[in-house]
Amino acid sequence: MDYYSHPKDISALDAKLEAQKIAFSPIAFQAVMTLLRTDILKYICDAGEQGATAKELADKSEISTYGVKVLLDMAASMGIVWIENIDHYRLDKTGHFIINDKMTQANINFTQDVCYEGMFHLEQAIRTGTPSGLKVFGDWPTIYPALTSLPEKVKKSWFEFDHFYSDHSFPEVLPIIFEDKPKCILDVGGNTGKWTLACLHHNKDVRMAIMDLPQQLTVLQKNIADQGMLDRIEVHPTDLLAKDAPFYQGADVIWMSQFLDCFSEDQILEILKGAVKVMSQESSLFIMETYCDRQRFEAATYCINATSLYFTALANGNSRMYHSGDFIKLIQKAGLYVEKDIDDIGLGHTLFKCRKNMRLTD
């Protein structure tokens, strides 16, 4: 569903409030981070219907009463807590999701640890088409070769964010990918090997080939070795942005999950053309992505649009979470057609099963 092709139906007063939330959003966000990392929110959650006083919270968290109160006044303005009988802090609905919802936690940690400092350079990134915010972590052309060398906390939040979304979808799509009984699957952008492992466990005969940057493949090989299945995989360290980077030949299914959003439209087209070259009439290419115009829930569209700006400021300066229509045009231009188009997978993925358009490519 498209959530923003019509004006928002709210009063001027509410619109002004929304504008203030934006004006102070970094302050609000840091208040939430502090409430989480000092455990103040957890203590309020644990206190349940009784609530907790500022003094009790100050003692437990070893923060001054001043600190507790100033943070919780802001939290009350955000609907995270409410105050009963002058001094009893109780968890409110938004607070419930902040403290208990795994998606919110993955997003908060990603925003704080990976994005927060770098986002200060968004304007420069937009103007130059380069990930200007990445300099807060070092001198890298994109975030991908840096992934395994990022500070531990940053790395953890990046991988938890990435895995959170794909983990929810992998079990749902496995039966679809295996419908045509593939003997060999090529996992493009295989990362830490989660999909490869899911396939190896799902079908005892399938073989996997994986393409990714060398840094990621070292981690992947270790993870597969830990499960004793190295003999069923082959890795192909490849920079798919390199001119004429060869695609692994010999897979009947090519799999790209949360991969093509790492590239600009021109780069996606070149990568897809490279895949088409090694495809036959029988093979299929599956693309799993989140599209901003294919979401059932407004919260999902919001997350996706914010994630696009992470790509701009930190990942590579020129990619994003795409509109499905733009993506389908690239698929067709590369010489493919969409045979199956399935929405609402996991937490908002769409799966395209693509085939080679034999009339165009041979």
Ligand X SMILES: C[S@@+](CC[C@H](N)C(=O)[O-])C[C@H]1O[C@@H](n2cnc3c(N)ncnc32)[C@H](O)[C@@H]1O
Binding mask 156-175 for ligand X (x = CB under 6 A): ------x---x---------
* Residue of 247, 248, 259, 311 interacting with ligand X (CB under 6 A): 259
**Site for ligand X, residues 291 to 310, rule: CB under 6 A:** none
33-60 b/e (C-beta count within 10 Å ≥ 16 → b)? bbbbebbbbebbbebeeebbbbebbbeb
- Residues facing 21 on adjacent strands: none
Binding mask 115-134 for ligand X (x = CB under 6 A): --------------------
Query: What contacts 346, CB < 8 A, 6 or more positions away?
Result: 165, 166, 168, 169, 170, 172
Which residue carries 């304007």 as its tokens?
123
Looking at the Cβ atoms of 71 and 275, the one nearer to ligand X is: 275
Task: Please identify, among the stretches 127-135, 187-195, 317-325, 341-349, the one whose residues bind ligand X according to the rule CB under 6 A.
Answer: 187-195
Residue 52 is classified by DSSP as B
CB of 257 to ligand X, least distance (A): 3
Distance CA(333)–CA(82), nearest Å, equals 54
Task: Please identify, among the stretches 85-93, 200-208, 254-262, 276-284, the one whose residues bind ligand X according to the rule CB under 6 A.
Answer: 254-262
Q: Is residue 262 at the binding interface for ligand X, with CB under 6 A as the rule?
A: yes
Please, which contacts does 211-215 make with residues 24 or more away whose CB atoms are closer than 8 Å? 211/186, 211/187, 211/235, 211/236, 211/237, 211/238, 211/240, 211/247, 211/248, 212/188, 212/237, 212/238, 213/144, 213/145, 213/237, 213/238, 213/239, 215/145, 215/147, 215/148, 215/149
Q: Is residue 213 at the binding interface for ligand X, with CB under 6 A as the rule?
A: yes
Q: Is residue 270 at the binding interface for ligand X, with CB under 6 A as the rule?
A: no
Looking at the Cβ atoms of 162 and 234, the one nearer to ligand X is: 162
Distance CA(165)–CA(320), nearest Å, equals 16
| Terminal alpha carbon distance of the chain | 37
* Residue of 109, 111, 112, 257 interacting with ligand X (CB under 6 A): 257
Q: Which residue is nearest to ligand X (CB)?
A: 189
Looking at the Cβ atoms of 38 and 257, the one nearer to ligand X is: 257
Looking at the Cβ atoms of 38 and 130, the one nearer to ligand X is: 130
Which residue carries 């206190």 as its tokens?
47
Listing from the earlier edge strand, what are the strands of the sheet with 184-188?
233-237, 207-212, 184-188, 253-257, 284-290, 349-356, 336-345
Task: Please identify, among the stretches 11-19, 44-52, 90-98, 239-247, the one whose residues bind ligand X according to the rule CB under 6 A.
Answer: 239-247
* Residue of 105, 196, 258, 307 interacting with ligand X (CB under 6 A): 258
Looking at the Cβ atoms of 243 and 359, the one nearer to ligand X is: 243
Q: How many residues bind ligand X, per CB under 6 A?
A: 17
CB of 155 to ligand X, least distance (A): 13
**Given the rule CB under 6 A, which residues bind ligand X?**
144, 162, 166, 189, 191, 195, 212-213, 216, 238-241, 257-259, 262
